[in-house]
Homo-oligomer: A and B are copies of this chain.
Amino acid sequence: MSHTYEYARPALTTDCVVFGLDEEDLKVLLIERALAPHKGEWALPGGFVRVGESPDDSALRELNEETGLSKVYLEQLYTYGDPGRDPREHVVTVAYYALVNLIEHPPRSDTDAAKAEWFSLEDLPPLAFDHGEILKFAVERLRGKLRYQPIGFELLPPKFTLGELQWLYERILEQKLDKRNFRKKVLSFKLLKETGQFQKDVSHRAAQLYRFDRKRYQALAKQGFSFEL
């Protein structure tokens, strides 16, 4: 069933940069392409937008089909449309990014993706198409966002220590932060709630567990703040 239009149209796709944090470092989810072009190369999960399906819905569907991930909160990153970015034809792609708790999201491969895997940002394979550029921009956006919006809700378990939160910031910013300043600053936003519970089974003194104040988190995500480091 082919479709005919009066004027030629670029093809439209979506691509997703999914960041996850495990106990080692910040990782990104890639798929090994099972089909040409760039067969056998690593790429961002994504695919063609269907008529009647919003790009947002398309991105979620493709992500689920290719990696098994669902209920992921995607944010639009940027739309890439250079005519030469795909060897097949002119393909415009709407890129998204997402943060997930990697431990709760083991990837599973499916359909046209041969294999889905988490890669450390420190040790990436070459990426197909312009996906290297898209990933680089997503990392920049993530770092920028950290400075004026709260991040962590999606990457950390529901209860976490201030040390774990600092560790997350240090992994994303790739810089060591002063413990005292970090705590003072983070607590000043009144974003965290003490749970009254403490770490278990640790060899050092057990640290208190916090959780995010969801309402305050959403308000700050909207209104923004300034996290000077």
A contacts, CB < 8 Å to B: 2-12, 48-56, 76, 78-79, 81-83, 89-90, 92, 94, 144, 147-148, 224, 226, 228
Q: How far is the CA of A90 from the CA of B54 in the complex (A)?
A: 9
A50 contacts which of B4, B8, B76 (Cβ < 8 Å)?
A: B8
Question: Is B83 in contact with A55, judged by CB distance below 8 angstroms?
Answer: no
Q: How far is the CB of A111 from chain B (nearest CB, A)?
A: 16
Question: Is B4 in contact with A4, judged by CB distance below 8 angstroms?
Answer: yes
A76 contacts which of B10, B79, B82, B228 (Cβ < 8 Å)?
A: B79
Q: Knowing A2-B4, A226-B226 touch, does A9 contact B82 (C-beta < 8 A)?
A: no
Q: How far is the CB of A78 from chain B (nearest CB, A)?
A: 6
Known: A2-B5, A9-B9, A144-B224. 13 other contacts (CB 8 A): A2-B6, A4-B5, A5-B9, A5-B11, A8-B51, A9-B12, A10-B12, A12-B12, A49-B92, A51-B89, A52-B83, A52-B90, A226-B228
Which residues of the partner chain B approach A49 to less than 8 Å between Cβ atoms? 10, 81, 92
A92 contacts which of B48, B55, B78 (Cβ < 8 Å)?
A: B55
Question: Is B52 in contact with A81, judged by CB distance below 8 angstroms?
Answer: no
What is the chain B residue whose CB lies nearest that of A58? B81
Q: Knowing A76-B79, A83-B53, A224-B147 touch, does A48 contact B4 (C-beta < 8 A)?
A: no
Interface pairs A-B: 4 shortest CB-CB: A226-B226, A8-B51, A55-B81, A3-B8
Q: How far is the CB of A77 from chain B (nearest CB, A)?
A: 10
Q: How far is the CA of A202 from the CA of B48 in the complex (A)?
A: 60
Q: How far is the CA of A10 from the CA of B92 in the complex (A)?
A: 11
Which residues of the partner chain B approach A53 to less than 8 Å between Cβ atoms? 83
What is the chain B residue whose CB lies nearest that of A224? B144
Q: How far is the CA of A6 from the CA of B2 in the complex (A)?
A: 4
Most buried by B among A10, A51, A92: A10
Q: How far is the CB of A113 from chain B (nearest CB, A)?
A: 19
Which residues of the partner chain B approach A89 to less than 8 Å between Cβ atoms? 51
